[in-house]
């Protein structure tokens, strides 16, 4: 009996040590807040540590977004940058992401606030609501909608709302305020980096395997490849999102985010057909489209270093690294006339 | 279906359940079926090949024994078996290599003669097993296996099928005659050995490959410090990858009730090149010694004859690793080093360990360049980069930390028994040992859960 007590004590101490280790070396606990219509984001002013792809420790602002505190008063020119984890850029230090670097680059060209509204896991169907939410705080004068291949199809997963004549009026997002169970789970995540890490790392895999086993098949692609047909289904949604954003009364620009795999012999752009179709939709609405592949390919040709991926991830895969953010920012710096037209 | 995949975990769990439930007399049948299934998952066509190799080995073994009193006939059966194995190996592994070499000699484009040949996984390993079996029967060191089921299982036994260790029939077949089955003690020990291999593979080798691969792909882009770091990282990667695989294979076999030979004995602690080959890929180096070097004459002739034997053995050993002149170069360099070592010893000279170890390590490190590079040109590029080329500096902190960690573990493992007893006399008590066991497993599992990448890459030695 005594050895069992000793063992339990040793295991508890081990868990405590592991918790400290994860907090120091892997990631911070997930402190989340619920924002109506938008979903779950970081709690205001919480500290975020990420080492999955490199090393970054940063503090989000009082809206829970990856920015330094908003200046008071706001600068004369203001650009809102929207997108998912590529834009949120938790994998690099705050001052290294392309939004900060772009703001820095513009400081001697009339200055401008470049506000990072990136949300991990979000897709453009939320963008109109995000603009409404941030309007009182940021008062943007230009919108940069960053799109990666994931976003191109993800938009089609939400059911659309329609009027009697069949025209689309919006999306039905199933983001609910936290109930009792969700609140408890959020509390656990907020207090344990170890649980947060294990959940993020294995939730997807376990769910896929559970699905595969219950479906009677073991062969499962953890991230099923979406087809061009998915984009066709979401094309109407895309048009609606861009129309909504244009109706906010400020210039909208689409940036096709670099999502490329490098090889020693060159580079291969993925999802080119979907990109072309989105470009056609945007240009039909008079919205300019910028191709983010260009600066990263040029950087790769110049330095031989990938602008995507980190030393601890597979070569050329993953989010944009610090080098890529710098290349992207210096390329965007020359597009001020387009972005804040 | 690699050992570190979820599919294998499912496969092995099901297999253990079936072995537990099936009557003891069907144990070998179930294992043979599972081994064939395991192999068929790579490519079902390969079953025909492994069936052919096993069939030829089985029949030739019986014939060699049958004619053992008529040496000429016996020898003919031996050569027939060996020729069949070498023909299979040559066709699948060396056809395009031969075409490429001939085309280069006559300065013609090789592409038009290239054959679409898929290299069957583990071919080099199981053909060598059959050859060693035939030679052992011929030498009358063992009797032939009369049970086709047992012989087919010896060739196809899945834990060591695709990347060794190369198991001798005299070590494996007698275990089939003994009472085998699932055993709690073996199961626990096997799980420990498997976990050790798993950590080596997932925690070290897979992580290092993310740094090593891009640097070796374009060495001309990096500066000398990056190239040295990548070379060091590759040395650790290939050791942890292959030794990790071997540990996993030995662990799985133990869990099934079989003992496989040790394949690595801390090779980077070797103080001479001969010492290195007694510690690195032991099952291959001892195979080459017993079935190639000694039949060639070994060190029984004059000194020059011994050097020739060493060179031949190592050149063929290099070629065994892959159909490329780079592997031949790698084997040749090791052959030269072994000959120099032999000459040094013959002259009655010795070398203190503090000089022998760094020299040996540096030599092994430098010879990994042709082993890892895709071509001669790339090898030369890498070597020239090591002595001061300008380029991008990429000193990944994660790689440096991992290498230091591996070094620490190596040092601790080298003297673990003495340290504990000197540090804490009377330890461990029975209670302390029990708690320590649970804690070790807890930490091992948790560290794997925290740091292991979700997807694992194939083992390097699968390609050989």
Going by pLDDT thresholds of 50, 70 and 90, the confidence category of residue A265 is very low
Q: What residues of chain B lie within 8 A of the CB of A218, using their CB?
A: 7, 10
Residue range B445-456, pLDDT digits in tens: 787 778 765 555
Measured between CA atoms, how close is A96 to chain B, in angstroms? 18
Q: How confident is the model at residue A251 (pLDDT cuts 50, 70, 90)?
A: very high
Average pLDDT over chain A reads 83
Tell me what pLDDT residue B455 has.
54
Q: Do A14 and B443 touch (CB under 8 A)?
A: yes
Compute the half-sphere exposure of residue B287: CA atoms within 13 Å on the CB side of its CA. 27
- pLDDT, residue B347, reads 84
Q: Is B217 on the interface with A (CB under 8 A)?
A: yes
Q: Which residue has better confidence, B84 or A26?
A: B84
pLDDT in tens, B302-313: 888 888 888 888
Q: How much is the average pLDDT of B132-148? A: 90
Chain-chain contact of B431 with A209 (C-beta, under 8 angstroms) = no
Instruction: Provide the 10 A C-beta neighbour count for residue A243.
Output: 14
**Residue-level pLDDT at A266:** 44
Preferred mutation among A3, A307, A313 to probe B, highest tally of B CBs within 10 A: A3
Task: Give the residue on B whose Cα is nearest the Cα of A4.
Answer: B435
Q: Distance (Å, rounded) from C-alpha B310 to C-alpha B312?
A: 6
B323: helix, coil or strand? coil
Interchain contact, A18 vs B446, CB within 8 Å: yes
Question: What is the rounded average pLDDT of the residues B159-168?
Answer: 80
More confident residue, A148 or A15: A15
The pLDDT assigned to B334 comes to 93
Beta strand extents in chain A (DSSP E only): 32-35, 39-42, 47-50, 56-59, 78-82, 113-116, 142-147, 160-162, 168-171, 252-256, 260-263, 266-269, 289-291
What's the mean pLDDT in B144-151? 90
Q: Give which of B212, B220, B450 to mutate to test A binding, by max A Cβ within 10 Å.
A: B450
B446 has a chain A CB within 8 A of its CB: yes
Q: Please tell me whether residue A146 adopts helix, strand or coil conformation.
A: strand
Best residue of A1, A8, A9, A18 to probe chain B, by most B CBs closer than 10 Å: A18
pLDDT one-digit tens code per residue, A294-325: 888 888 777 766 677 654 344 455 788 888 89
B-chain residues near A312 (CB < 8 A) = 207, 210, 396, 398
Q: What pLDDT was estimated at residue A75?
A: 92
Query: For residue A301, what is the nearest residue in chain B, using CA coordinates?
Result: B221
Residues B222, A304: C-beta atoms closer than 8 Å = yes
**Selected catalytic residue, list B321, B341, B410, B424:** B321
Question: Any catalytic annotation for residue B29?
Answer: no
Contacts of A306 in chain B (CB under 8 A): 214
Q: What is the pLDDT of residue B133?
A: 92
Contact B399 A311 (CB under 8 A): yes
**Residue A139: C-alpha distances to residues A97, A248, A300, B84 (Å):** 22, 11, 36, 79
- Position A19 scores a pLDDT of 92
* Chain A touched by B10 (CB under 8 Å): yes
Q: What is the pLDDT of residue A267?
A: 46
Give how far Cα A249 sits from Cα of A34, A158, A245, A246, Å.
Answer: 28, 26, 8, 6
Residues of chain A with Cβ-Cβ distance to B213 below 8 Å are 315
Q: Which of chain B's residues have a Cβ under 8 Å away from the Cβ of A261?
A: none
Cβ pair A218:B442 closer than 8 A: no
Q: How confident is the model at residue A207 (pLDDT cuts 50, 70, 90)?
A: confident
CB within 8 Å: A311 and B398: yes
Q: Which of residues 342-381 of B touch A (CB under 8 A)?
A: none
User: Would you say residue B364 has pLDDT above 90?
Assistant: yes
Q: Could you say which of A10, A22, A315 has the minimum Cβ distance to residue B450? A: A22
Highest mean pLDDT among A35-44, A225-234, B433-442: A35-44
Distance from C-alpha of B78 to C-alpha of B346, rounded to nearest angstrom: 36
Touching check for B211 and chain A: CB below 8 Å?
yes
Query: Quick one: three-class SS letters along A23-91?
Result: HHHCECCCCEEEECCCEEEECCCCEEEECCCCCEEEECCCCCCCCCCCCCCCCCCEEEEECCHHHHCCC
Q: Are B361 and B135 in contact (CB under 8 A)?
A: no
What pLDDT sits at residue A273? 73
- Helix, coil or strand: residue B70: coil
* B55 has a pLDDT exceeding 70: yes
> Distance, in angstroms, between A264 CA and closest chain B CA?
7
Q: How far apart are CA B462 and CA B464, in angstroms?
A: 5
Query: How many angstroms separate the Cα of A298 from the Cα of each of A86, A146, A289, A334?
Result: 19, 20, 19, 15
Share of chain B above pLDDT 90, in %: 17
Q: Which residue has the tokens 């099901």?
A: B14
Are A304 and B6 inside 8 Å of each other by CB?
no
Facing A315 at nearest CB: one of B213, B442, B449: B213
Q: Choose the most confident range, by mean pLDDT, from B48-52, B89-93, B124-128, B363-367.
A: B363-367
Contact list in A for residue B392 (CB cut-off 8 A) is 303-305
Give B431 or A96, the one with higher predicted confidence.
Answer: A96
Contact list, B221 vs chain A (CB under 8 Å)? 303-304
**pLDDT: which is higher, A228 or B220:** B220
- Judge: B442–A315 Cβ closer than 8 Å, yes or no: no
Q: Which residues of A touch B433 (CB under 8 A)?
A: none
Which chain A residues are within 8 Å of B443, Cβ to Cβ? Answer: 14
pLDDT at A130 over 90: yes
Which residue in A121, A147, A157 sits closest to A233, CA to CA?
A: A157
- pLDDT on residue B423: 54
Average pLDDT score, chain B = 83
Angle between helices A293-303 and A322-333 (to 10 degrees): 120
Mean pLDDT of B184-197: 84
Q: CA A275, CA A293: separation in Å to the nearest integer?
A: 11
Q: Do B450 and A305 touch (CB under 8 A)?
A: no
Residue pair B235/B192 in contact (Cβ under 8 Å)? The answer is no
Confidence tier at B461 by pLDDT (50, 70, 90)? low
Of A10, A198, A205, Cβ closest to residue B435: A10
Q: Which of B377, B443, B446 to mutate to test binding with chain A, by most A CBs within 10 Å of its CB?
A: B446
pLDDT greater than 80 at residue B61: yes
CB contact under 8 A, B218 and A194: no
Reported as a single tens digit per residue, the pLDDT across B371-416 is: 998 788 889 989 988 887 676 677 766 677 778 877 777 766 665 5
CB contact under 8 A, B210 and A304: no
A181 pLDDT more than 70: yes
Mean pLDDT score, B287-300: 85
Beta carbons of A311 and B210 less than 8 Å apart: yes
- pLDDT, mean of residues A132-138: 95
Q: Give pLDDT, residue A227.
A: 58
- Answer whether the bond into residue B428 is a cis peptide, omega within 30°: yes
For residue A205, the distance in angstroms to the closest alpha carbon of chain B comes to: 8
Q: Is B434 exposed, middle or buried (0-12, 13-18, 19+ CB in 10 A)?
A: middle
Mean pLDDT calculated for residue range A239-267: 78
pLDDT tens string A15-51: 999 998 888 778 889 899 998 888 889 999 998 988 7
**Residues of B numbered 219-238 whose beta carbons fall under 8 angstroms of chain A's beta carbons: which are they?**
221-222
Q: Do B210 and A22 touch (CB under 8 A)?
A: no
For residues B409 and A138, the model is more confident at A138
How far apart are the CA of B158 and the nearest CA of chain A, in angstroms? Answer: 20
Per CB distance under 8 Å, which residues of A are interface residues toward B?
Answer: 2-3, 6-7, 10-11, 14, 18, 21-22, 26, 55, 194, 197-198, 201-202, 205, 209, 218, 222, 264, 303-306, 311-315
């Amino acid at each position: 009996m005594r050895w069992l007590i000793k063992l339990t004590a040793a295991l508890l101490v081990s868990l405590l040590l592991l918790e400290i280790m994860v907090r120091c070396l892997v990631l911070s606990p997930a402190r989340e807040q619920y924002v109506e219509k938008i979903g779950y984001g970081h709690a205001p002013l919480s500290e975020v540590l990420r080492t999955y792809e490199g090393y970054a420790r940063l503090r989000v602002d009082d809206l829970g977004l990856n920015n330094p505190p908003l200046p008071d008063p706001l600068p004369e020119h203001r650009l809102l940058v929207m997108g998912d984890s590529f834009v949120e850029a938790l994998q690099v230090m705050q001052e290294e992401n392309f939004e900060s670097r772009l703001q820095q680059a513009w400081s001697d060209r009339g200055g401008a606030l470049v506000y990072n509204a990136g949300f991990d896991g979000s897709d453009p169907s939320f963008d109109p609501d995000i603009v409404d939410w941030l309007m009182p705080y940021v008062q943007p004068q230009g919108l940069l909608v960053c799109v990666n291949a994931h976003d191109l199809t993800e938009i089609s997963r939400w059911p659309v709302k329609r009027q009697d004549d069949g025209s689309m009026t919006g999306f039905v997002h199933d983001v609910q305020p936290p109930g009792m169970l969700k609140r408890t789970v959020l509390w656990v995540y907020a207090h344990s980096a170890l649980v947060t890490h294990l959940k993020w790392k294995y939730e997807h895999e376990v769910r896929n395997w559970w699905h595969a086993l219950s479906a009677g098949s073991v062969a499962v692609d953890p991230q099923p490849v979406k087809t061009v047909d998915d984009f066709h289904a979401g094309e109407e949604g895309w048009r609606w999102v861009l129309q909504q954003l244009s109706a906010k009364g400020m210039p909208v620009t689409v940036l096709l985010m670099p999502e490329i795999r490098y090889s020693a012999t060159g580079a291969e752009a993925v999802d080119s057909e979907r990109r072309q179709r989105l470009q056609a939709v945007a240009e039909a609405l008079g919205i300019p489209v910028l191709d983010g592949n260009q600066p990263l390919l040029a950087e790769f040709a110049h330095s031989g270093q990938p602008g995507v991926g980190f030393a601890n991830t597979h070569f050329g895969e993953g989010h944009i690294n610090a080098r890529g953010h710098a290349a992207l920012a210096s390329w965007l710096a020359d597009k001020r006339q387009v972005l804040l037209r | 279906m690699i050992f570190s995949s979820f599919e294998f975990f499912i496969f092995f769990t099901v297999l253990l359940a079936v072995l537990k439930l099936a009557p003891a007399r069907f144990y070998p049948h179930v294992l043979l079926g599972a081994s064939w299934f395991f192999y068929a998952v790579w490519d079902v066509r390969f079953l025909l090949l492994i069936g052919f190799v096993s069939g030829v080995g089985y029949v030739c073994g019986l014939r060699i024994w049958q004619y053992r009193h008529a040496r000429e006939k016996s020898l003919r059966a031996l050569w027939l078996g060996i020729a069949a194995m070498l023909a299979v190996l040559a066709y699948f592994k060396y056809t395009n290599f031969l075409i490429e070499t001939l085309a280069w000699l006559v300065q013609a484009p090789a592409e038009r003669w290239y054959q679409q040949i898929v290299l069957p996984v583990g071919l080099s390993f199981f053909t060598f097993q059959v050859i060693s079996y035939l030679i052992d029967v011929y030498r009358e060191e063992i009797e032939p296996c009369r049970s086709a089921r047992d012989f087919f299982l010896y060739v196809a036994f899945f834990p060591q099928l695709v990347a060794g260790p190369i198991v001798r029939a005299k070590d494996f077949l007698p275990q089939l005659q003994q009472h085998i089955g699932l055993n709690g003690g073996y199961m626990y020990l096997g799980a420990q050995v498997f976990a050790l291999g798993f950590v080596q593979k997932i925690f070290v080798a897979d992580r290092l490959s993310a740094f090593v691969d891009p640097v070796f792909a374009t060495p001309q882009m990096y500066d000398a410090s990056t190239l040295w770091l990548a070379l060091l990282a590759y040395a650790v990667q290939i050791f942890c990858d292959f030794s990790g695989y071997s540990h996993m294979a030995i662990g799985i076999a133990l869990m099934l009730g079989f003992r496989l030979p040790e394949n690595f004995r801390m090779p980077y602690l070797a103080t001479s090149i001969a010492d290195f080959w007694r510690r690195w890929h032991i099952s291959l180096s001892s195979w080459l010694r017993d079935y190639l070097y000694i039949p060639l004459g070994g060190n029984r002739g004059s000194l020059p004859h011994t050097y020739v034997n060493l060179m031949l053995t190592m050149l063929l050993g290099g070629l065994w690793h892959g159909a490329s002149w780079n592997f031949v170069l790698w084997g040749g360099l090791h052959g030269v080093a072994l000959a120099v070592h032999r000459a040094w010893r013959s002259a009655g000279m010795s070398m203190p360990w503090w000089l022998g170890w760094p020299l040996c390590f540096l030599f092994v490190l430098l010879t990994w360049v042709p082993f890892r590079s895709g071509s001669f040109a790339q090898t030369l590029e890498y070597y020239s980069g090591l002595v001061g080329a300008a380029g991008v500096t990429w000193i990944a902190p994660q790689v440096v930390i991992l290498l230091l960690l591996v070094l620490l573990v190596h040092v601790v493992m080298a003297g673990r028994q003495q340290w504990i007893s000197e540090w804490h006399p009377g330890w461990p008590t029975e209670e302390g040992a029990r708690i320590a066991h649970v804690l070790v497993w807890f930490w091992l599992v948790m560290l794997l859960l925290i740091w292991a990448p979700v997807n694992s890459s194939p083992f390097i030695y699968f390609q050989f």
